[in-house]
Amino acid sequence: MITLVLGGNKSGKSDFALDLAAKTRKPALFIATGKARDLEFREQIRQHRINRAPKMEVLEVSSGLPQALQKAKLHFPSVIVDSLDYWLFSCRESGCEAERIQEFLDVLEGWDGKDLILVSAETGLGPLPAGSGVRAFIRSLGALNRRVATVADRAFLVAAGLPLTLKQD
């Protein structure tokens, strides 16, 4: 089952995804895609580590998410990816965005029923920034989120810590 969890910054989307995984009572792999680029983000990563289950395995990846998912589904009944927005940023940085997105969508199309929880930022609710690079990223992430939502069995939007069901199969 593929679940997409969307939300804004500090909305509670990561906590909600961890709660969903805990309810399955299955061993889970946590795939982290963000890199600590400043002190504030290092602190955010530290807090995420504190909030995760102590026995949850963690794998840190950048643009290699499709390959990591292929390996993870062989060894784990449940996988959490946090987050697609940081992964997309890494893909854009490395110049392989279109190729990696297609590889990722191919992995999702072939997903075999194991639990996969994908966390992503919902950036389309605010004003469009003036910078063309930021606008391009927001549009690309919006398109990715739409494509993932189409494949997902369930989708939620988390706002103020409250999950809203967008799709439930």
Note if 48 is an active site residue. Answer: yes
DSSP 59-114: EE-SS-HHHHHHHHHHH-SEEEEE-HHHHHHHHHHHT-HHHHHHHHHHHHHT--SS
- Residues 106 and 145: their CA atoms lie apart, in Å, by 15
AA letter at 91: C
Which residues neighbour 123 within 8 Å (Cβ) at sequence distance 6 or greater?
Answer: 8, 85, 138, 141, 142
Q: Which listed residue (35, 48, 92, 114) is catalytic?
A: 48
> How far, in whole angstroms, is CA 123 from its chain's centroid?
13
Q: What is the set of active-site residues? A: 48
